[in-house]
Amino acid sequence: MKRMLQPFQFKNGVELHNRLVLAPMTHYSSEPTGEVSEHELAYYRKRAKNVGLAITACAYVTEDGKGFPNAFGVNDDKFIPGLRQLAESLRAEGAKAILQIFHAGRMSPPELVPNEQPVSASAIAPVREGAATPRALETEEVEAIIEAFGDATRRAIEAGFDGVEIHGANTYLIQQFFSPHSNRRDDRFGGDVNARLTFPREVIRSVKRAAEGADDFLIGYRFSPEEVEDPGITLDDTDVLIDMLLEENLDYLHASLWNFHIGSMRNENVTERSIDRISKRINGAVPLIGVGQLQRPGQVEDALNVIDLAALGRELIIDPDWLDKVKDDREDEIETELDLNKQAELAVPAPLWNAITTRAGWFPIKDQVVK
């Protein structure tokens, strides 16, 4: 049996029926009010059949934490009924359902947040053209956001999710507190690399407190190994982060990589893959999820020599029948380029479809006549 098809058990006894993960991907398709939409439910039902673990797009934990138009919220009890539908859609085919929770921080589009004012660890703008300068959060506000992550976890449990993934990656608020570029604070949430871990550590502990008594509830953490900014997060910094995450006794870690095989973003002379360095640092202490252009079954099998679970994102948008084709020995039929004539068949909501087809280089597109 292929390794990807083998079951996997977490230390708390939760078992997955295979080692594939639906990667969290933003889809811009929730209701404008933050509720889960029918389009989302159809999109997830189409893809959760492939995987043992299904991770949602990121849900914002506070009103000033929105990162995308038409994202869904977990910052109010009114969202629980829709979230329950989402959990049920993910679990319908046997997958375990994970709600990814986050705060966008300085990456929030101003028009989506109160007073059109993004917030962050410090008043330092992202390095991108036209980026707004955030307002530095007061200490009391930081503590309130930490509690909001716990509140979001309580709602995830009430909605029937099997776990949450704390989104500490992709330049959002938790990473902003860890980054020497975006965190120039002089209170207990700022300082050297260890002091900058205070916020992510306290978020983790808030989530764990909220999950006390739910013994089969999974808590994961997603992180990005490096930043391109100077100063920015380095692989050496990430070694320190991983050590802290291991101390917190989480259920899994999730390395966010655009390409599974990438080395250092900051030093072209580094030849070792980031994922290999991360895996060595973890040394089997906690399950590791990897992601990044794992298109073919052979690539996934090779990746599982280094990681425990392999996440597929774009691959399952392009071909929701990816796993069925592996099981039926039809691997040569797996689609690796998006067919622009199959939006309805693929159940891809219109806002996500528009983003995919207008953002050059994001998805491989099949060279064809669009009907």
CA distances, 185 to each of 62, 102, 167, 200 (Å): 21, 21, 21, 15
Tell me the backbone φ, ψ of residue 337, rounded to 5 degrees: -130, 145
Distance CA 316, CA 326 (A): 13
In the chain, the N- to C-terminal Cα span, in Å, equals 40
Residues classed as catalytic: 172
Distance CA 52, CA 350 (A): 27
Find residue 218's DSSP bridge partners: 163
* Three-class SS of the chain: CCHHHCCEECCCCCEECCCEEECCCCCCCCCCCCCCCHHHHHHHHHHHCCCCEEEEEEEECCHHHCCCCCCCECCCHHHHHHHHHHHHHHHCCCCEEEEEEECCHHHCCHHHCHHHCCEECCCCCCCCCCCCCCEECCHHHHHHHHHHHHHHHHHHHHCCCCEEEEEECCCCHHHHHHCCCCCCCCCCCCCCCCHHHHHHHHHHHHHHHHCCCCCCCEEEEEECCCCCCCCCCCHHHHHHHHHHHHHCCCCEEEECCCCCCCCCCCCCCCCCCHHHHHHHHHCCCCCEEEECCCCCHHHHHHHCCCCCEEEECHHHHHCCCHHHHHHCCCHHHCCCCECCCCHHHHCCCHHHHHHHHHCCCCCCECCCCCC
